[in-house]
Amino acid sequence: MRMLEGKVAIITGAGRGLGREEALAFAKHGCDIIVNDLVGSDEVVKDCQKLGVKAIANYNSVVDYNKTKEMVDQAIAEFGKLDIVVNNAGIIKDRMIFNMTEEEFDSVIAVSLKGTFNLTRHAAVYFREIGKDNPELGNFGRIINTASDSGLYGNVGQSNYGAAKSGIASFTIIIAREISKYATVNCVVPSARTKMTTDLTPKLIEWMNTKTQDGFDIFHPAHFPPLLVYLASDSAKNINGEVFRAIGDKVWVYRGWKAVKMIKNDRKTFNPEDLAKRVPTELMKDLPSKLEGVQTPELLLS
């Protein structure tokens, strides 16, 4: 069964890596696609067309607010409508904070976080206009944003990337509430073997080549797109404002920040001296690890 038959999608960062895999998976399920990337879009377009769908290349930068509006306009002009947006574009510029330049911070935030806002904003306007004109459509639109482990748990050397990606997760939860009448908005967190996770982060190469004893290639990028196909389909119309993580044959759902412990002071304002005594001995005692929930090799191999 082709779950996206007759749908139209914009996928950013789709010229290579996970974006390419996502485009191909959408095409296999009958979705026409605007393939957006600064490089590589033409080849992906050809591969999608071979799967029997219409696909068009777009080389606009997601950093440019007006250019992302052009993507939405292009989808409507070429295909008559827009159903799905996948915000996949992102860059990495690893650097410890004491060495990070302003450009290294700004560029990562611009592509990942602002780029997600730009396209989401224009798509939301379209979904709302169509939805108000035709209420029978319900929440027909789908927006899928992309976060990362760095945003969930924090990776040393990625304060720029992690800030952008955790921001995307929060952005998703808020926007999901704002446009729930017209569209669902969800966030996905991939862990897959791509040029970004190997060439740019060589320390991950061995980890990303992990296989189970029976040869299952845990981090193969093809394992990830089925989650997006589902979230983009009509079957997921009741899934909104969630953050999912997928690795290999496993999918998790996350629920953000939560309080894990509390101290109180019998209706009296804490003073600094009380806090100095009680925070380390009560509030911070026997806390769960900050990395609780991180998927270890043992868990992934199970």
Identify the CA nearest to 89 among candidates 71, 68, 116.
116
The CA radius of gyration of the chain, in Å to the nearest whole number, is: 21
30: left (phi over 0), alpha (psi -120 to 50) or beta: left
Q: Active site includes 148?
A: yes
The amino acid at residue 274 is D
Q: Active site includes 254?
A: no
On whether the CB atoms of residues 34 and 75 are closer than 8 A, the answer is yes
Identify the CA nearest to 165 among candidates 186, 183, 179, 145.
145
Which among 93, 114, 159, 161 is annotated as catalytic?
Answer: 161
Q: What is the largest CA-CA distance in the chain?
A: 70
Identify the CA nearest to 26 among candidates 233, 249, 193, 183.
233
Q: Look at residue 84 and give its three-state secondary structure.
A: strand
List, as one string, the DSSP characters of 37-49. -SSSHHHHHHHHH
Q: Look at residue 129 and give its three-state secondary structure.
A: helix
Whole-number Å distance between alpha carbons of 293 and 296: 9
**Can you give the length of the chain in residues?**
302
List helix spans (H) across 8-114.
17-28, 41-49, 65-79, 102-108
Whole-number Å distance between alpha carbons of 45 and 32: 10
Which among 41, 165, 166, 191 is annotated as catalytic?
Answer: 165
Which among 112, 148, 166, 233 is annotated as catalytic?
Answer: 148
Q: At what angle do helices 115-133 and 65-79 cross, to 10 degrees?
A: 40
> Active-site residues: which are they?
148, 161, 165
